[in-house]
Amino acid sequence: MDKAKMVKIYRKMLEIRFFEEKVFELYGQNLVPGTIHLYAGQEAVAVGVCENLREDDYIVSTHRGHGHCIAKGAKLDKTMAEILGKKTGYCKGKGGSMHIADFSIGMLGATAVVGAGLPIATGAGLSIKLRGTDQVVACFFGDGASNQGTFHEAINIAAIWKLPVLFVCENNLYAMGTCQTQVMLLKDIAKRASAYGIPGVSVNGNNVLDIFEVAQEAGKRARNHEGPTLIECKTYRHKGHSRFDPATYRPKEEVKAWLEQDPLHQFKKWLLEAGNVETTYLDQIEKQVITAIESAVKFAKDSPYPDPHEALEDVHAEWR
Ligand SMILES: Cc1ncc(C[n+]2csc(CCOP(=O)(O)OP(=O)(O)O)c2C)c(N)n1
Ligand SMILES: [Mg+2]
């Protein structure tokens, strides 16, 4: 990987982290309708995977999806406007944080229904196969979602038909307040891949370079029409499940240990030590990202809310 690519990866991870911090702050000011599910701590997954995708590839996201959108190339201002429910947002303010989508960048949608993204990804994979292109789909979902029936059905069909899907499980150890150990005996969710006859790989979800490599391999396999891969990224969310959750169910030592493995700090350290990148250069990038986020917030705050008369527009498809 060349230096420009490494720096691009750092910038993207930083954009996601600072974006999330801003959303958290705006929520406190009552500017975000509904709730929010923060992605801080999991940035390496979105960026490590999406840096292997082309503009015409697809992603399918979850309730914790701001990071996936930004990693796939969503503009910060339109994403922020959507989260604030403004007319200038990607879905004219009607999707909000949990139902944001933008087909023009291959972002097929976030969904608040746990596990609902997997069949959508399989469907997109089938559409690619029928159209005969070499696109791929990356489907993000959580450890909790991997216990839904949709996980089994979607992966099994994708395996049988050799569909070009990267099933990316973000195992952050918890589904709301439920720890993985309370609901499954398996330690590695990737092992479930063997039930479908496809490769399954567990990777350090806080190491962006490791994820990049695994996703690269899975991407090649998908583009070569060899079928899907299940990638389990072991990671941790820094905050509670949603804005309302103080996450007191997590042992303090566990939180401390994971915070010490912050993906952003680890990658910065690596860039400075092994990547041969200067501190001053990274400081400069940090300033640019802060400015970009501030301008996105201004854009969103200055934008109007949709008119109540538009409430039902774009909600149902036209009958043709
Ligand atoms: C079908 C369904 N069941 C339950 C819920 C309530 N719910 C929302 S998020 C969530 C936990 C999801 O956990 P996981 O898949 O691990 O994703 P994470 O929140 O950790 O990113 C649950 C149970 C829901 N939204 N949809
Ligand atoms: Mg989880």
Domains of the chain: 3-171+178-297 (3.40.50.970)
Atom of ligand 1 nearest to the CA of 37: 19
What does the alpha-carbon distance between residue 223 and residue 137 come to, in Å, rounded to a whole number?
10
- Residue 239 pLDDT: 94
3-class SS at 276?
Answer: coil
Give me ligand 2 centre to Cα 171, in Å: 5
Atom of ligand 1 nearest to the CA of 42: 21
- The angle at the Cα of 160, spanning 159 to 161, to the nearest 5 degrees, equals 95
Give me ligand 2 centre to Cα 145, in Å: 8
Calculate the alpha carbon distances from 204 to 106, 139, 212, 224 in Å: 26, 18, 11, 26
Query: Which numbered ligand comes closest to the C-alpha of 37?
Result: 1
Closest Cα to atom 4, ligand 1: which residue?
114
Give me ligand 2 centre to Cα 113, in Å: 13
- Residue 1 pLDDT: 85
Q: Which residue has the tokens 């200067």?
A: 278
Give me ligand 1 centre to Cα 145, in Å: 7
Calculate the alpha carbon distances from 129 to 2, 125, 182 in Å: 32, 6, 38
pLDDT (average), residues 217-233: 98
Q: Taking a C-beta distance cutoff of 8 angstroms, is the pair 289, 14 a contact?
A: yes
DSSP state of 227: -
Looking at every residue in the chain, the average pLDDT score rounds to: 96
Atom of ligand 1 nearest to the CA of 143: 16
- Check whether 244 has a pLDDT greater than 90: no
- The residues that bridge with 227 in the sheet, in sequence order, are none
- Check whether 93 has a pLDDT greater than 80: yes
Q: What tokens were used for 26?
A: 């705006």
pLDDT tens-digit readout, 166-202: 999 999 999 999 999 999 999 999 999 999 999 999 9
pLDDT tens-digit readout, 287-308: 999 999 999 999 999 999 999 9
Q: What tokens were used for 287?
A: 């300033």
Instruction: Please name the residues in contact with 265: beta carbons below 8 A apart, sequence gap of 6 or more.
Output: none
Task: Name the E strands within 182-250.
Answer: 200-204, 229-234
pLDDT tens-digit readout, 144-158: 999 999 999 999 999
Give me ligand 2 centre to Cα 170, in Å: 7
Closest Cα to atom 8, ligand 1: which residue?
114
* 96 CA to centre of own chain: 15
Q: What tokens were used for 19?
A: 């974006």
pLDDT tens-digit readout, 109-150: 999 999 999 999 999 999 999 999 999 999 999 999 999 999
**Probe target for ligand 1 pocket from 176, 237, 249, with the most ligand atoms within 8 Å of CB:** 176
pLDDT tens-digit readout, 48-73: 999 999 999 999 999 999 999 999 99
- Residue 243 pLDDT: 85
- Residue 53 pLDDT: 98
Q: Taking a C-beta distance cutoff of 8 angstroms, is the pair 84, 32 a contact?
A: yes
Backbone angles phi, psi at 181, to 5 degrees: -65, -20
Q: How many CA atoms lie within 13 A of 12 on its CB side?
A: 27
- Residue 80 pLDDT: 98
Give me ligand 2 centre to Cα 178, in Å: 9
* 192 CA to centre of own chain: 21
pLDDT (average), residues 231-247: 95
3-class SS at 233?
Answer: strand
- Residue 317 pLDDT: 80
- Region of residue 92 (phi > 0: left; psi between -120 and 50: alpha; otherwise: beta): left
Percent of the chain predicted with pLDDT > 90: 95
Atom of ligand 1 nearest to the CA of 141: 15
Give me ligand 2 centre to Cα 65, in Å: 13
Q: Whose CA is closest to 309, among 103, 92, 109?
A: 92
Closest Cα to atom 19, ligand 1: which residue?
175
Closest Cα to atom 12, ligand 1: which residue?
175
Ligand 1 binding pocket (C-beta < 6 A) is: 63-64, 112-114, 142-145, 172, 174-176, 241
DSSP 140-154: EEETTGGGSHHHHHH
- The angle at the Cα of 47, spanning 18 to 280, to the nearest 5 degrees, equals 55
pTM of the model: 0.97
Atom of ligand 1 nearest to the CA of 242: 19
Instruction: Please name the residues in contact with 290: beta carbons below 8 A apart, sequence gap of 6 or more.
Output: 18
- Check whether 320 has a pLDDT greater than 80: no
- The residues that bridge with 138 in the sheet, in sequence order, are 59, 166
Atom of ligand 1 nearest to the CA of 142: 15
- Residue 232 pLDDT: 98
Q: What tokens were used for 23?
A: 């959303």
